[in-house]
Chain A
Amino acid sequence: MAKKAVKKAVKKARKVDPVTVEIVRNGVIAVTEEMKTNLMRTAYNMIIYEALDFTTGLFTAEGETVSIGIGLPTFIRGMAETVKAKINHFGLKNMKPGDIYVTNDSYTTGSHLNHFTFTLPIFHKGKLVGFSCCMAHWLDVGGVLGGMTTDIYSEGIQIPILKYQDRGKVNQDLLDIIRINVRLPPRAMGDLRAQVTAVKTGERRFLELLDRYGQQAVMDSIAEIMDRAEAAARARTRTIPDGVYEAESFLDDDGIEIGKRISVKVKVIVKGDEMTIDFTDMAKQVRGFFNSAMTTGYGCAQVAYKCITSPTDYPINDGAFRSLKVIIPPGRIISATRPAPMRWWMTFPMTVIDTVFKALLPAVPDRVIAGHHADLVAPSFHGFNPATSEFFIGTFGPLGGGWGAKKTEDGVSATVCLNDGDTHNGPNEQAEAKYPILVERYELIPDSGGAGRYRGGLGIARTTRALTNVTVNTQSERSACPPWGLDGGGEATGNTVAFRVNSEWKSDFPNAKVLVAQLKPGDAFRISSGGGGGYGGAFERPAEDVAEDVRQGYVSVEAAREKYGVAVNPETFAVDREATDKLRSMR
């Protein structure tokens, strides 16, 4: 209570005009956007430059998020926690101009070891005024190549919180250690340079803002922006009816105990202008590499909360999360502890977030969404390229898949999963020019979207032929537990894998996690992403809309009949009224 009073008093003392606040708001967004552009354009690996698996950000001297340029929505919490960990580690008073800190510690970032995070303390007129920070996914950090891991030590090099640069002097020993531990040192060093450039860009631009508008005015404006974000989030939370909302869903398995379902249980408590998301009943951390750490557990809650309360507000800042409480004990799949394996950390959280939306259906039916394909669907392949005689690790980036329908709109097809935002796939032509593979087909999957008054979006299938000996790993979830519908909407198809070996297709796998599959020239693999769930009863969908879906080939004649109760002429695509009435009256 006393604390609140103090805060109020501080707020009163702050004097900022709405114009400066707006200029600073645009300014901090521009800073993190420029960091983002910069990183994207100079990075060496596709996961950064096309898949945008990175996040850039600006933080207060306390480590609170001021603005983040998102590549990766689920990493919404990762950098702030890493900045705070670095502050705790070194202590503010020991941070000096010219320092740059680094870590890839999984239990700090909440994610896998590929996420190298660089942080630069920004000094203005001798005062530490904030941090610029940048996380980016390195293509390889050593560790076991392909296959399953069961602890963090087999996943690659671990860099604790260290100084990459100490008062301007680069830590060469650290670079040497990294170089010898990764498979593609030049790429790793290229990405490292790109990240250092990005945090320096953030520093330079933020200093320009401080010089132009004055330190006090900028700092006050930032505090004001965060307070307003808080007020807006609280106001929108207040529009959600008070109550306790629960839901449960399931994941296929952990890749080790095949077929053993993993329970995802969430409880959401809304009271007044506050929301509590309780993950206490979530499954315990698993043996396979699908765990993520506490930071990501918080991240899941924040992503869900932002989607519901402030989806289009920018900059993304910590003010908007002051009205969110998260309960999560350690040792769960999204709060795993050392030495839990984390290599595919990003998969389970997507289903966790979808489950929060499912829980909130009765509260805010027009703000939630049916289940989506919830997976990167990004197999990787490696081998030796006969053209260059060099080792390669190939990926197309995420495949993209179907998204769930909403109360008033169909789901969107062929779009990147919740973990990723402005993430691009890799063009097929680019992959063919680079790797010894050939893409045979790349297409939408008819009937993959869940049926409903509003239909779920469609998934994608890509068939890739090996032109040399290639080892393939797929790590996809939600095959046996496909994306669900809401309010009577049908479920979609899940993510699946098939292999063609010696001209014979095999697709009867118990899950979509096929590790270390060996292909010879001419063999192929097909990876298919799931659709999105439907919303509302399919029999309520206007027959003309169903017929139009048939005409476009999104829905088959058979599915129109069986799932929607609509008889469509396969030649003219006209609705057979009589037959339709009959079909629809039967249920």
Chain B
Amino acid sequence: MPNSKRTRATGGANVRLAADIGGTFTDIAVFDDKTGRLNFGKALSTPQRLVDGISTGVAKAESDYRSANLFLHGSTVAINTILERKGARTALITTDGFRDVYEIGRINRPDAYNLYFQKHVPLIERALRFEIKERVRANGEVLIPLDEAGLIALGDRIAALGMEAVAIMFINCYANPGHEARAKALLQERHPHLFVTASHELSQEYREFERCSTAAANAYIGPKVRRYVGEIDEHIRKDGFSGSFLIVQSTGGLYESEQAQTQCVRMLESGPAAGVIGTQALCRTLGIKNAIAFDMGGTTAKAGVIYKGEPLTTGAALIGGYDKALPVQIAMMDIFEVGTGGGSIARAEDGALRVGPQSAGAEPGPACYGLGGTEPTVTDANLVLGRLGADRFLGGEMTLDVEAAKRALTSVGAPLGMNATQAADGILRIASTAMSYAVKGVTTERGLDAGDFVLVAYGGAGPLHAVAVAREIGIRNVIVPGAPGVFSAFGMLFSDLRYDYVRTHLMSLADAPFGDIESIFQELEKQGRDAIASTSVRPHQVTVKRALDMRYVGQEHPVTVELPLSVFRKQDREAIKQHFDDDHLQRYGTSAPDERAEIVSLRVTVAGLMKKPPQEKIGKGKAAPPKSAFAGKRKVFFDGRFRDAPTYRRAELLAGNRIAGPALIEEHASTTVLTPGDKLTVDAWGNLVIAVAGAK
């Protein structure tokens, strides 16, 4: 079977299918190499058997598995398994004396005055955390050899307890993974059915709690993700698929579905990451260097960054709310999230109007859904202000109840002396500022000037609020791509194979041995090249990027500094120092060129570049939109009063069309709002390019 997968699909199969499964919808994007056509499909997710939703979506996009040579997939299955605590029965094996690392965590108490504060709850209970004799020092030297007989006995005991998965985390294994690797081999030899994860396979960075949490999360979700991926694989192959099945990682890069079945935590945030990759693809087409990927859905707004043409990534993230978060220490897209979405609930509290973070979710949903929700949400505000059309929601598939929305808004406005309209207007203003903090979180807080960026807005609710958010931050241009409601699926079509590695190796820059650095880099790079070679696709080019995590001697938080390969070839310490000083200055506004620097970790990204589908141009028109695009006028509330605003059907717009705000551009799962003074141009590819009024 693995061999047959290696052969590239033949018989004229040259279609890429991308499937993004979210909580509510399954989005499909299909690109046909031969015809150059891009199609989309949207279907309700089918939690009982997720593959059914995919098949429905593929059919809606007028495609089938047989004609596809690539199946690209992103899913919330991994993250939901953690958030809903529905993972495998998992045990932890750790160094003698350290079984409570996972429970103790970082001891912080962010909810500092709340005597009823809570702490993270490990995915593995204490009774299932076992210790074994072994010890490695920080320099990699073995202090106590691994007790192999004890480990074998422990493995048998764990198996007898009915465990499905085991995580292994030994202290200082980042400096010498020998004991972890040996322990894993011993376990798998005797218990091949167990899902075993050793922490060094995912992270070779120091910080034992974070590494432990990463390994535990991987083991905990492992059996379920493995089954899930296996089932999809089986199903699509039964339906005639004979190509490569690749999965999107949290970095936005792809890996083989087989690799996803062992390194499961790497796919935690695949959907949001794919949206940023879509933004990058859009930027390439349009020649834009710096952009913010702004994704607003039902419960959250997320922002990622394209800087100098590349998405910004981070080395770790927290899963779940900050107070009780479980860390994962792996490369991920750097995405900042705020709890403001279409379903965010507004309340009157202490004489103020508050929005979110509570969300009405999909059920009961906003009051206007008529599903029993009575609290006013951001969506209700949009409806009452005319920004959403009651009879045009989801292309008219669902009718919204304006009166219910008004009632909800009246009830929240009354104690504040506001009527429904004023309350709705206030909710949108507050929501915009709240979302602007997500954007600032990924720009100004990283030393980037948001004003230099273009805001690319997608997600069901992104285009509704994009202009207001942009104005809040001083962003001059907003772009709403085609099909913003299925943008993550679209983005997947542009992903490359990608493998990230990191190794902590503390050394002072002044006397860092370049020989050691080179051999570590080459070892990591070889792993990446081998991983790419073991996939079923043949990328047209393999690229390698090197970075160092560096800091001034005495600091703790390092900065990840991307470095050209030449500095290593030339063994140029000064150039490395210069890069670090510059990055530090840019990110934090200070640098200390006279201070010594040290290297904390070495990072490598190996990418296998895939052929990108070309972006299709749309038909050309004049400055005035065609008559067929005009869909009547509607009263829409802007700047303190209702005004007549024209509405347009996006599908009918032509390249070169210009529209001045106020106006609404409607499409299947999304509406773009132009406020008075905003100027929109439809570009050659059908993107809505908006010059924001009043932005500096």
Contacts and interface: CB of A to CB of B under 8 A. Distances in A.
Interface string B108-151: 11111111111100000111000000000110000100000000
Contacts of B137: 432, 438
Contacts of B350: 228-229, 231-232, 313
A406 B116 contact: yes
B588 A41 contact: yes
Interface string A419-430: 011111101111
Contact of A422 (B96, B108, B429, B590): B108
B107 A416 contact: yes
Interface in A540-587: 551-554
A184 B208 CA distance: 28
B99 to A, nearest CB: 7
Interface stretch (A23-31, A120-128, A276-284, A341-349): A23-31
Contacts of B416: 18
B106 A424 contact: yes
Interface stretch (B45-53, B392-400, B430-438, B479-487): B430-438
Nearest to B596: A186
Interface in B531-574: 552-557
Contact of A423 (B109, B440, B445): B109
B98 A193 contact: no
A409 interface: yes
Interface in A392-444: 398-400, 406, 409, 412-416, 420-425, 427-430, 432-434, 438-444
B104 A414 contact: yes
A306 interface: yes
A569 to B, nearest CB: 15
A307 B588 contact: no
A451 B32 CA distance: 68
Interface in A42-65: 42-46, 49-50, 52
A190 B555 contact: yes
B591 to A, nearest CB: 9
Nearest to A414: B104
B113 A22 contact: no
Nearest to B589: A197
B388 to A, nearest CB: 20
Given A193-B590, A312-B111, A442-B97, A432 B555 contact: no
A400 B104 contact: yes
B430 A197 contact: no
Contact of B101 (A357, A406, A434, A442): A442
B595 interface: yes
Contacts of B297: none
A554 B110 CA distance: 25
B430 A190 contact: no
B588 A30 contact: no
A21 B352 contact: yes
Contacts of B557: 40-41, 49
B234 to A, nearest CB: 39
B172 A429 contact: yes
B107 A427 contact: no
B378 to A, nearest CB: 14
A150 B549 CA distance: 44
Nearest to A425: B107
B65 interface: no
Q: How large is the interface on B (under 10, 10 to 19, 20 to 34, 35 or more residues)?
A: 35 or more
Q: Which of A22, A416, A422, A432 has the most CB of B within 10 A?
A: A22
B352 A25 contact: yes
A19 interface: yes
A442 B99 CA distance: 8
Contacts of A423: 107-109
Contact of A421 (B96, B110, B430): B110
Contact of B126 (A37, A367, A424, A554): A554
Contacts of A444: 100, 103-104, 126
A369 B588 contact: no
A19 to B, nearest CB: 4
A422 B119 CA distance: 12
A416 B104 CA distance: 10
Contacts of A200: 589
A527 interface: no
Contact of A18 (B127, B353, B440, B444): B353
Interface string A351-368: 000000100000000011
Contacts, number: 208
Contacts of B348: 18
A40 B110 CA distance: 15
A34 interface: yes
B419 to A, nearest CB: 13
Given A49-B556, A423-B107, A194 B590 contact: yes
B418 interface: yes
Contacts of B138: 429, 432-433
B612 to A, nearest CB: 36
Given A190-B552, A429-B172, A429-B208, A412 B118 contact: yes
A450 interface: no
Nearest to B112: A421
Contacts of B353: 18-19, 22
Contacts of B445: 34, 37-38
B207 interface: yes
Contact of B99 (A25, A52, A412, A443): A443
A45 B554 contact: yes
Contacts of A197: 588-590
Contacts of B255: none
Contacts of B174: 429
A450 to B, nearest CB: 16
A49 B127 CA distance: 33
Given A428-B171, A430-B206, A414 B100 contact: yes
B113 A311 contact: yes
A489 to B, nearest CB: 15
B552 A44 contact: yes
B381 to A, nearest CB: 12
A460 interface: yes
B351 interface: yes
Interface in B287-339: none
A422 B118 CA distance: 12
A390 to B, nearest CB: 10
Nearest to B173: A429
Nearest to A41: B557
A414 B103 contact: yes
Given A415-B107, A415-B119, A443 B100 contact: yes
B125 A552 contact: yes
B506 interface: yes
B418 A70 contact: no
A424 B552 contact: no
B554 A190 contact: yes
B286 interface: no
A204 to B, nearest CB: 9
A44 B97 CA distance: 30
A194 B552 CA distance: 13
A385 to B, nearest CB: 12
B555 A18 contact: no
B152 to A, nearest CB: 22
B125 to A, nearest CB: 6
Contacts of B661: none
Q: Which of B138, B207, B354 has the most CB of A within 10 A?
A: B138
Given A190-B552, A441-B98, 9 more contacts: A26-B434, A49-B557, A193-B592, A400-B104, A424-B106, A433-B504, A441-B96, A442-B98, A553-B127
29 contacts: A18-B348, A19-B353, A22-B355, A23-B429, A23-B433, A27-B433, A34-B444, A42-B588, A73-B112, A187-B554, A201-B589, A303-B113, A307-B114, A406-B116, A414-B100, A416-B107, A422-B109, A424-B107, A429-B206, A432-B137, A434-B506, A439-B97, A440-B97, A441-B96, A443-B100, A444-B100, A551-B127, A553-B127, A554-B126
Chain A to chain B: the 10 pairs with minimum beta-carbon distance, closest first: A421-B112, A400-B107, A441-B97, A19-B426, A432-B138, A429-B206, A422-B110, A311-B114, A424-B106, A414-B104
